[in-house]
Amino acid sequence: MSGPGAEWDAALAESRFLLQRPTDGGGTTVFPPRAFAPGTGAELEWFEASGLGTVYSATWIQRKPPEPPYNVVLVDLAEGARMMGCVEGVTPETLHIGMAVKARIVGGETPKIVFDPVEQAHG
Amino acid sequence: MGDVFPRGRVSVAGASTFGVGEMPGHSTIEMAGKAVQLALADAQIGLPEVDGLFIALPDDLFAGLSLAQYLGLHPRFTDNNRAGGASFMSHLVTACMMLDAGYLDCAVIAYGANQRSSGGKLSTPARPDRWDAPYNPMYPLSFYALAAARHMHQYGTSREELASVAVAARLWANTNPEAFAKGPLTVEDVIASRLISSPIRARDCCLVTDGAAALVLTRTDRAKDGPQPLVPVLGAAAATWYNSVTQADDITVTAAAESGPRAMAMAGLTLGQIDTVQLYDAFTINTILFLEDLGFCPKGEGGPFVASGAISPGGSLPVNTNGGGLSCCHPGMYGMFAMVEAVRQMRGTAANQIAGAKTALAHGNGGTLSAQASVIFGNAETV
C-alpha cells in the first residue's frame, strides 16, 4: 500500500491530475497530498481536478544568453489549492498575475503538470 | 497558558563575531569555535562553565555533537534546531527557558560559515521539495521573487522602493568598519544590476561572505556581576507556518506577524518603544515584509515607508544598523548577526550607535519566508 504521494504519482502517470478534499464536505481542497486534512485531521478523498486556475505570482529566471529565461509561477487552482508550475507559450510581456490558465500533463516516464493560457472571452 | 517567558531573567553575558567578510582556510566548526572562545572571553567566563550548546552549521547535521567535541565539553544539553536563518533566535528561546528553570547555568549559541572562501556561492543543504522541484525554481531566491512580484502586484510596491532598502543598508555599512560591502550605491545602481529571477536583481540580494558569531547566556543575577553592560532578554517567540512559501495563504504575509506580537507581549512593550530593529534582509523584499508584519507600518505600505528614509541613518526607525545581510555580512544563516548587532546597540558599543537606545528587536527568517523568530533585547533600565 502506497502513501498519498505515490498514489498521486500513479494517477499522474495515467494522465489524471488529482486533488483531495475532506470526505465530510467541509474544509478546503488539499495539495500537496496528505494522509489526512492539514489542520483538522479529517479524512480525505481524491477527486479529479478541473485543471483550471489563475496565476497568483510569477517570476522569470534568467539564464546565460542565448538561453531564454524560463518562468516559474504559483497557480491558484479553481478548486482552492495552490501549486507551483510553469506557463508555456508566454513571454515576460504576456505572462501576468491574474492570467487564467489550464493544466496539461506532459512528459513520458516522469510526467509533470504545466499550464497553458486560457483564451479569455472578449467582453 | 502558553507564551510564559522569563522576562529579563536571562541576559547576554558575552557576544562576539569572528571572520566577518573573508576568513579563508577555516572550516565551519573552526569558525564557530573561535567565535565561542571570543564570546566567553567577552563575558570573562571559562570554557568549563558552559553546560548548554546551541548551534546550526551549514554543512553538519550533527553540529551540536561536533561543537561538544570541538570544545571538549560534556554539555547537559545540545540543540541543533534548523529553522534556517531563524535557528538562533529559536535556540535563544530554548536556552532562556532552560536557564531560568535551572536546568542549565551557562548556554552558548554559535554559528560559523565559510561560504565565501569555500566556493563563493550560497551554501545550503536545503532544496525545493518534490512538488516545487520539477519547475526548477532557484532555491531560495525564486521563492522570494514570487513574494516580491505578488507584493508589487497587490500593493503597487515599486522597483525603486525595493532598491531603497539596499541603499539604506549600504549607508549604514559605509560607517561600520566590520561591514564587507562599502562604497556608493544608488537606487539607479540597484535597478541597473543584473536581473536574476524577476523582479529580484543582483543588488537586491544579500552578500556571500564568511563569518561566525556567538552569544553567551546566563541568568541575569549572574550577568549583572559580569564585565559587560547588562543586556536582558525581554521576550522571544518563534513562529512556523510551513516550509515552502508556495503554501502560504497570502504570500505577502509572513509568520513575523505572529512572532513579533508574541515577543512584544512577553516584553510588555509597544512598537513605539522599540529603538532599533535588526532583521534578516536576505533580499530587499524581506525588509519590507517584516517591517509590515512586525507592525512598524501597515501591510502594503512598507515600500513607501522604506523609501521615505525612515530606516536609513538619521531616520525614525534605525533598521540594520550594521549594514545587514545586504551590505555587512551574510555567511548563509544571518540570524546570529542580527542578534549580535542588537546586543551591541544595547551595550552602547555599536559602530553606528543609536544614542539612548534601550530596546532592540532582532528578527530572524528561515527557509523561504517560512520560519520567523523575534527577540526583544533591553538594557539595564528595562528590568
How close, in Å, is residue B251 to chain A by CA atoms?
9
Q: CATH no. for residue B308?
A: 3.40.47.10
Establish if B142 belongs to a structural domain.
no
Whether residues A35 and A61 share a domain: the answer is no
Which pLDDT value is given to residue B123?
65
Nearest to A61 among B132, B150, B197 (CB): B197
Instruction: Please name which of B207, B171, B206, B202 lies closest in space to residue B322, comparing C-alpha atoms.
Output: B171
How far apart CA B331 and CA B335 sit, in angstroms, is 10
Q: In chain B, which residues have pLDDT < 50?
A: none
Task: Assess whether pLDDT exceeds 70 at residue A66.
Answer: yes
Name the residue in chain B with its Cα closest to that of A8. Answer: B131
Instruction: Tell me which amino acid residue B141 is.
Output: L
Determine the residue of chain A that is closest to B134 in CA distance: A112
- The predicted structure's pLDDT at residue B100: 98
Task: Kindly state whether residues A81 and A112 are assigned to the same domain.
Answer: yes
Chain B residues 118-137 with CB within 8 Å of chain A: 129-132, 134-137
Q: Is the pLDDT of residue A86 over 50?
A: yes
Residue A123's pLDDT band, with cuts at 50, 70 and 90, is very low
Q: Helix/strand/coil (H, E, C) string of chain B?
A: CCCCCCCCCEEEEEEEEEEEECCCCCCHHHHHHHHHHHHHHHHCCCHHHCCEEEECECCECCHHHHHHHHHCCCCCEEECCCCHHHHHHHHHHHHHHHHHHCCCCCEEEEEEECHHHHCCCCCCCCCCCCCCHHHCCCCCHHHHHHHHHHHHHHHCCCHHHHHHHHHHHHHHHCCCCCCCCCCCCCHHHHHHCCEEECCEEHHHECCCCEEEEEEEEEEHHHHCCCCCCCCEEEEEEEEECCCCHHHCCCCCCCCHHHHHHHHHHHHCCCHHHCCEEEECCCEHHHHHHHHHHHCCCCCCCHHHHHHCCCCCCCCCCCECCCCHHHHCCCCCCCHHHHHHHHHHHHHCCCCCCCCCCCEEEEEEEECCCCEEEEEEEECHHHC
A42 and A88 share one domain: no
Q: State the angle between helix axes of B63-71 and B28-43 in degrees (0 to 180), rounded to the nearest 10.
A: 60
Cβ contacts of A31 on chain B, cutoff 8 Å: 131
B193 touches chain A (CB under 8 A): no
Number of structural domains (chain B) is 1
Subunit contact B131:A83, Cβ cutoff 8 A: yes
Per-residue pLDDT, A122: 57
Mean model confidence pLDDT for chain B: 97
Assess whether A57 and A113 both reside in one domain. yes
Same domain? A42 vs A77: no
Distances (CA, A) of B95 to A44, B32, B88, B110, B214: 40, 18, 10, 12, 13
Q: Are residues A70 and A33 in the same domain?
A: no
Residues A120 and A62 in one domain: yes
Q: Are residues A33 and A59 in the same domain?
A: no
Nearest chain B CA: its distance from A73 CA (Å): 8
CB contact under 8 A, B149 and A85: no
pLDDT of residue A109: 82
Query: How distant is the Cα of A24 from the closest Cα of chain B, in angstroms?
Result: 22
Is the sign of the CA dihedral B254, B259, B261, B264 positive or negative?
A: negative
Cβ of residue A58 closer than 8 Å to a chain B Cβ: yes
A3 touches chain B (CB under 8 A): no
Q: Smallest CA–CA separation between B242 and chain A, in Å?
A: 11
Inter-chain CB proximity B198 and A92 less than 8 Å: yes
Q: What percent of chain A has pLDDT over 90?
A: 88
User: Which of A8, A73, A74, A109 has the most B C-beta neighbours within 10 Å, making it the best mutation to test the interface with B?
Assistant: A74
- Is residue B71 a part of any domain in this protein? yes
**Rounded CA separation A100/B37 (Å):** 58
pLDDT at A1: 75
Contact assessment for residue B305 and residue B44, using Cβ atoms and an 8 Å cutoff: no
* Residue whose cell numbers read 527568517: B365
pLDDT for B126-137, tens place per residue? 899 999 999 999
Cβ within 8 Å, pair A74-B246: yes
A94 close to B (CB below 8 A): no
User: Residue B127 domain-assigned?
Assistant: no
Q: Does A112 touch chain B (CB under 8 A)?
A: yes
At position B136, the amino acid (one-letter code) is N
Do B251 and A59 make contact, defined as CB atoms within 8 angstroms? Answer: no
Looking up cell 509572513 gives B254
Chain A residues lying within 8 Å of B129, measured CB to CB: 32
CA dist A98 and A75 (Å) reads: 9
Given CB atoms, is A99 within the 8 Å cutoff of chain B? no
CB of B362 closer than 8 Å to CB of B109: no
Residue of B nearest to A69 (CA): B197
Q: Is residue B113 part of a domain?
A: yes
Range of the domain at A111: 50-123
How much is the pLDDT for B125? 76
Residues B245-260: tens digit of each pLDDT: 999 999 999 999 999 9
A5 to B135: CB separation less than 8 angstroms, yes or no: no
Q: How many other C-beta atoms are found inside a 10 Å radius of the C-beta of residue B48?
A: 11
Q: Is A84 on the interface with B (CB under 8 A)?
A: yes
Q: Does A6 touch chain B (CB under 8 A)?
A: no
Residues in chain A with CB shorter than 8 Å from the CB of B138 are 61
B74 touches chain A (CB under 8 A): no
Domain around B75: 10-120+207-382
Residue B154 lies in a domain: no
Say yes or no: A60 and A104 in one domain: yes
Using the beta-carbon criterion (under 8 Å), do B149 and A59 form an inter-chain contact? yes
Q: What are phi and psi of A110, to 5 degrees?
A: -120, 80
Residue A121 confidence class, pLDDT cut points 50, 70, 90: low
B135 CB neighbours in chain A (<8 A) are 72, 84-86
Give the model's pLDDT for residue A115. 98
Would an 8 Å CB–CB cutoff place B351 in contact with chain A?
Answer: no
C-alpha span between B345 and B382 (Å, rounded): 14
Question: DSSP secondary structure string, chain A?
Answer: ---HHHHHHHHHHTT--EEEEETTS-S--B-S--SS-TTT---EEEEE---EEEEEEEEEE--STTSPPEEEEEEEETTS-EEEE-BSS--TTT--TT-EEEEEEE-SSS-EEEEEEPPPPP-
Residue with cell 570544545: B71
Q: Is B374 left (phi over 0), alpha (psi -120 to 50) or beta?
A: beta
Q: How many domains does chain A divide into?
A: 2
Please check whether residue B305 lies inside any domain of the structure: yes
Same domain, A43 and A67: no
**Domain contains B145:** no
B273-312 per-position pLDDT tens digit: 999 999 999 999 999 999 999 999 999 999 999 999 999 9
